[in-house]
Amino acid sequence: MNVFWFFPTHGDSRYLGTSVGARQVDLAYLGQIAQAIDRLGFDGALIPTGRSCEDPWVAASSLIPLTRKLKFLVAVRPGIMSPTVAARMAATFDRLSGGRLLVNVVTGGDPVELEGDGLWASHDERYEITDEFLRIWRGVLAGETVDLEGKHLKVKGANVLYPPVQKPYPPLYFGGSSNAAHDLAAEHIDVQLSWGEPPAAVAEKIADVRRRAADKGRTLRFGIRLHVIVRETNEEAWRAANELIKYVDDETIARAQSTFARMDSEGQRRMSALHNGKRDKLEISPNLWAGVGLVRGGAGTALVGDGPTVAKRMQEYADLGIDTFVFSGYPHLEEAYRVAELLFPHLPGREKPDAANAVLTGPFGEIVGNQHLPKASQS
């Protein structure tokens, strides 16, 4: 299992839907998160995109020298960015980071926001643009000189002089739930992401994308985007989930759901349908909680429980073909430590080192009585 974390460039807090418990997200704070997750053993981190966020490329670039192994999942925006300029940005980032770039292809699902960025295109037209964008982007990063006269994009003699470290190009990640999105994934994408729907719904999406990819002679991997609330006991985890939305009132929910309703994103429609703007039945599948989606767009569900329980639910997704979990939690610095301490020991290949064999710098806790190593956990 690959486990990613998240950089909250749109803000961070102890609670959703309120300024209570909010904190300033500046370079120092993002640096704290970056260094923490790099040392804790997360494989990568997603940086969000959109007008509600700091620019992902600038933010990610500022964190390269603060990290050693962490990979950055950074968005390209077809229709808003030039494919050749985006390719040069990707190549530069990949080179300067030593091959630590992953590329998140974001077609966009909010027509109002996209119009503000100058993109006036229907849902299916945006996927046509994305297809042409990726034909150019993939070609130039693979070392080709590309001529393309498409329905929406036209380039002549497009190329990239400084190639990326990763060959033929940094891996492409993409999330989408519509027919057009599944066709695009089958044609171009390396890792198809799904927001955290119940396992049966995720299984249907995986089967559909696999079939379409097989028809094109391709295979791809799959990932899932979720929040996570892990505590020492299931009871504590559920209390933490309820605490997270303690300040969310009906007016705030209605305002958020009104914004989501204007979007033409099939994925957002499916997220909103999990709770229908109501808080009475938020556990939509065992340990899968839809409370985040009451006020947050995009990923709106969380796995809730103690370490063994969350690991079991992750394994259920893994059995469907999911190999990458993109997690987040509020606030993101503290929750990263909770995930590493309470969840990682229950995941394959991420067991905590034996305390008896640990060097004096840990991890073992505080020396007991100035002399003795503390007892290992019996769990």
Number of domains in the chain: 1
Bridging pattern class, strands 172-175 and 191-195: parallel
- CATH code of the domain containing 300: 3.20.20.30
Rounded to an integer, the average pLDDT of 223-245 is 97
Q: What local confidence, expressed as pLDDT, does residue 269 receive?
A: 87
What is the pTM (predicted TM-score) of this model? 0.92
Residue 367 lies in a domain: no
Residue 369 lies in a domain: no
Question: Does residue 3 surpass a pLDDT of 60?
Answer: yes
Q: What local confidence, expressed as pLDDT, does residue 271 receive?
A: 83
Residue 264 lies in a domain: yes
Q: DSSP readout, 35-100?
A: HHHHHHT--EEE---STTS--HHHHHHHHGGG-SS-EEEEEE-BTTB-HHHHHHHHHHHHHHTTS-
Question: Does residue 69 surpass a pLDDT of 70?
Answer: yes
Rounded to an integer, the average pLDDT of 180-202 is 96
Closest CA to 108 of 40, 184, 212, 14: 184
Which of the two residues, 348 and 370, has the higher pLDDT score?
Answer: 348
Residue 59 lies in a domain: yes
Q: What local confidence, expressed as pLDDT, does residue 356 receive?
A: 47
Q: What local confidence, expressed as pLDDT, does residue 378 receive?
A: 54
Specify the range with the lowest mean pLDDT, choosing from 44-58, 83-97, 195-209, 339-353. Answer: 339-353
Record the tokens describing residue 87, joined without a space: 């390719």
Residue 377 lies in a domain: no
Record the tokens describing residue 56, joined without a space: 């992902």
User: pLDDT, tens digit, for every residue of 6-37?
Assistant: 999 999 999 999 999 999 999 999 999 999 99
Q: What local confidence, expressed as pLDDT, does residue 273 receive?
A: 87
Q: What local confidence, expressed as pLDDT, does residue 28 receive?
A: 97
Band of residue 367 on the pLDDT scale cut at 50, 70, 90: low
Q: What local confidence, expressed as pLDDT, does residue 297 receive?
A: 87
Q: What local confidence, expressed as pLDDT, does residue 359 receive?
A: 56
User: pLDDT, tens digit, for every residue of 347-359?
Assistant: 998 755 444 455 5
Per-residue burial over 187-215, b = 16 or more CB atoms within 10 Å of its CB, e = otherwise: ebbbbbbbbbbebebbbebbeebbebbee
Average pLDDT over the chain reads 93
Q: What local confidence, expressed as pLDDT, does residue 92 receive?
A: 98
Which of the two residues, 114 and 363, has the higher pLDDT score?
Answer: 114
Residue 296 lies in a domain: yes
Q: What local confidence, expressed as pLDDT, does residue 350 receive?
A: 77
Q: What local confidence, expressed as pLDDT, does residue 267 receive?
A: 84
Residue 370 lies in a domain: no
Residue 365 lies in a domain: no
Rounded to an integer, the average pLDDT of 61-80 is 97
Which of the two residues, 183 and 370, has the higher pLDDT score?
Answer: 183
CA angle 161, 50, 204 (to 5 degrees): 90
Specify the range with the lowest mean pLDDT, choosing from 178-187, 276-285, 309-318, 335-344. Answer: 276-285
- Residue 6: helix, strand or coil by DSSP? strand
User: pLDDT, tens digit, for every residue of 146-161?
Assistant: 999 999 999 999 999 9
User: Which residues constitute the domain of residue 316?
Assistant: 2-357
217: left (phi over 0), alpha (psi -120 to 50) or beta: left
